[in-house]
Copies of this chain bind each other. A is one copy, B any other.
Amino acid sequence: MTETDEAKPAELLVCIKCRRGTEIPEDDRRPGARLYDNLKSSDVPDGVTVTPVECLQNCEGGCTVALRGPGRWTYVYGALHEDTDVETLLGGAALYRETTDGLIPWRQRPEHFKRNCVARVPPLTPAKEAANG
């Protein structure tokens, strides 16, 4: 895809506080932090930044990440496992980065993304109407 090289960057936010419903001893590294570690030690696609964040407040349905980028819808995905979903996430982030609006075509969209979208938020756009008008 010729647009790829010109694509704007994308950011993969990872909730590093997530316990993924497990009992974690106080001094153990949490599943969310381990997901972050595993992503950072993998082959992250060009133009994708992996960012640790504190609590995306999907605590009942973690691990949780968000994908965002300039001009694009932000997507929040849950039910991720720190060991088995790393490749899925990186592949999905690469596809997301190739979009201009954040909408990965349905047929290309990873199955996990199809089934575990927690919420999405539209890109910032110029106001279409006056405030409170």
A-side residues, CB < 8 A to B, are: 9, 13, 40, 44, 47-51, 53, 55-58, 64, 66, 68, 74-76, 117-122, 127-128, 131-132
In the bound complex, what is the Cα–Cα distance between A8 and B47 (angstroms)? Answer: 31
The answer on a CB contact under 8 Å between B66 and A121 is: yes
**Chain B residues closer than 8 Å to A55, beta-carbon distance:** 120
Question: Given that A48-B131, A132-B50 are contacting pairs, would A64 and B119 also be in contact in the complex, using a CB cutoff of 8 Å?
Answer: yes
- Output the nearest chain B residue to A70 by Cβ-Cβ distance: B124
**Chain B residues closer than 8 Å to A9, beta-carbon distance:** 131
The answer on a CB contact under 8 Å between A132 and B44 is: yes
In the bound complex, what is the Cα–Cα distance between A121 and B120 (angstroms)? Answer: 10
